[in-house]
Structure 1
Amino acid sequence: MKINNFIYILLAAYLATFLRITINNNFLISIIGSFLVGFFIRRRLGVSTEKILLSGFFSCFTSFSGFIYFLYKILNQGDWIQFIIFFNLIIIVNLFIMIFGFWISRKIT
Structure 2
Amino acid sequence: MLNFLLVAVGGFFGAILRAFISKRLNHKNRFVHLGTFTVNMLGSFALGFLVNMHLHTNANLILSIGFLGAFTTFSTFKLESLTLVHTKQWKQFVLYTLLTYTVGLSIAFAGFWMAKLYLS
Q: TM-score normalised to the size of structure 2? A: 0.81
SS at match of 1:57: helix
Root mean square deviation of aligned Cα: 1.3
Aligned residues: 107
Q: Please identify runs of 4+ aligned residues in structure 1 that moved more than 6 A.
A: none
Cα distance in 2 for partners of 1:33, 1:55 equals 11
**Does 2:3 align with 1:5?**
yes
Moved more, 97-106 or 40-49: 40-49
The aligned amino acid for 2:91 is I
Structure 1 residue 59, shift from structure 2 partner: 1.2
The aligned amino acid for 1:107 is L
Quote the residue 1:108 is aligned against: 118
Structure 1 residue 20, shift from structure 2 partner: 0.6
Structure 1 residue 46, shift from structure 2 partner: 1.9
The aligned amino acid for 2:99 is L
The aligned amino acid for 2:5 is I
* Aligned equivalent of 1:66, options 76, 82, 88: 76
| Per-residue Cα deviation, 1:73-102 (whole angstroms, up to 9, x for no partner) | 211211233312321221000000000111
The aligned amino acid for 1:61 is F
Quote the residue 2:108 is aligned against: 98
Q: Which runs of 5+ in 1 are unaligned?
A: none
Within a 5 Å distance, the mapping from 1:38-77 to structure 2 comes to 38-77=48-87
* Aligned equivalent of 2:95, options 85, 88, 92: 85
Name the % identity: 29
Within a 5 Å distance, the mapping from 1:10-49 to structure 2 comes to 10-24=8-22, 25-49=35-59
Q: TM-score normalised to the size of structure 1? A: 0.89
Higher relative contact order (CA 8 A, sep 6+): 1
